[in-house]
Amino acid sequence: MRMSHIALPVRVVLMTSLVSLTGLVCGSPAVADPAGQPRESVLVTGTGEVFGEPDTLSASFAVETRAATVTEALDGASAAAIRMRDALIKAGLTRADLQTSNVAVGATENDDKKVVGYTASQGLTATIRDLPGAGALLSTAVAAGGDAARLTGVSFSIEDSAGLLAEARKRAFADARDKAELYARQAGRSLGRVVRVSEDNAVYHGASANYSLAADAAGAAVPIEPGRQQLTATVTVEWSFAAPRL
């Protein structure tokens, strides 16, 4: 009886040590396999990067007018926005490529906090797929809006990035496997089956620029350089260790 009481704590210590070691290998608390035994595995994160040439430009336009009354300010902003919209459609854009945003009316006060006028503003976002002609189109739209027109910024994107994303994912998985194999070799083990895979949201690093273009500067086409866009995929993969050879 005494011997059984002495042996029991020893068994508990050995099991606890095994669980802690597995957790260190995985980089996370130990996870049991279907048989209920702690799983020996390696958990790594891989990254894949690809580059592509942008084919779409998103331009942010705006109009802003000031007047003595709300109605005059709002009517002036609406008229300028309509002229810009019509110019963009005449240049080849469709209504599906245009979206109104940020409609606002605010009061203008003097130093005595007395309302002396009103300011109305309205935004318009345009999706442009003809990049060679984008510069001329931007200038044309701003000229149509007159002194109320603004061009607040542009950004580039790749409209159909499915192929690039697939390649980035392949590279991310390959990167994860390379890391896992390295750790396995250092531990004197070999990789077994994939236990789980999880992916972070893909990240797009695209070129963007801010412009403050008034109507009197819109005589020439705005210079446009799309550059290239980077897409990054990140994947976390867990491999079990293969059973050691006896």
pLDDT value at 28 more than 90: no
| Nearest-angstrom CA–CA distance, 131 and 161 | 17
Task: Please compute the mean of the pLDDT values over residues 132-161 and round it to a whole number.
Answer: 94
pLDDT value of position 54: 94
- Domain assignment present for residue 172? The answer is no
pLDDT value at 183 more than 80: yes
| Nearest-angstrom CA–CA distance, 124 and 62 | 6
* Residue linked to tokens 């345009």: 126
pLDDT value at 5 more than 60: no
- Domain assignment present for residue 200? The answer is no
- Domain assignment present for residue 91? The answer is yes
| Nearest-angstrom CA–CA distance, 231 and 164 | 7
Mean pLDDT, all residues of the chain:
82
Confidence of residue 193 (pLDDT cuts 50, 70, 90): very high
- Between 72 and 20, residue with greater pLDDT: 72
Q: Which of 3, 50, 19, 46 is nearest to 174 (CA)?
A: 46
Confidence of residue 203 (pLDDT cuts 50, 70, 90): confident
- Domain assignment present for residue 184? The answer is no
Q: Which of 64, 244, 208 is nearest to 148 (CA)?
A: 64
pLDDT value at 35 more than 70: no
Q: Which helix (H) or strand (E) holds 169?
A: helix 162-186
pLDDT value of position 209: 52
Query: Using one digit for the tens of pLDDT, what is the confidence trace for 97-137?
Result: 999 988 999 999 999 889 999 999 999 999 999 999 999 99
Task: Please compute the mean of the pLDDT values over residues 163-192 and round it to a whole number.
Answer: 96
pTM confidence score: 0.68
Using a 10 angstrom Cβ sphere, with 0-12 exposed, 13-18 middle and 19 or more buried, the burial of residue 10 is: exposed
Taking the CA atoms of 108, 113, 115 and 117 in sequence, report the sign of the dihedral they define. negative
For residue 49, the Cα-to-chain-centroid distance in whole angstroms is: 14
pLDDT value of position 225: 87
pLDDT value of position 20: 29
- Domain assignment present for residue 77? The answer is yes
pLDDT value of position 17: 28
Q: What are phi and psi for residue 176, nearest 5 degrees?
A: -65, -40
| Nearest-angstrom CA–CA distance, 62 and 156 | 18
| Nearest-angstrom CA–CA distance, 234 and 201 | 7
Tokens coding 229 = 């866009």
pLDDT value of position 206: 62
Are 204 and 229 in contact, with CB atoms under 8 Å apart? yes
Tokens coding 220 = 């020439």
- Domain assignment present for residue 173? The answer is no
Q: For the chain, what is the domain count?
A: 1
Q: Is residue 26 classed as helix, strand or coil in its secondary structure?
A: helix
| Nearest-angstrom CA–CA distance, 52 and 13 | 56
Whole domain around residue 85: which residue ranges? Answer: 56-158+208-219
Tokens coding 180 = 């896992």
Task: Please compute the mean of the pLDDT values over residues 152-179 and round it to a whole number.
Answer: 95
- Domain assignment present for residue 1? The answer is no
| Nearest-angstrom CA–CA distance, 36 and 29 | 14
Query: Using one digit for the tens of pLDDT, what is the confidence trace for 55-101?
Result: 999 999 999 999 999 999 999 999 999 999 999 999 999 999 999 98
- Domain assignment present for residue 88? The answer is yes
User: Tell me, what CATH number does 128's domain have?
Assistant: 3.30.70.2970
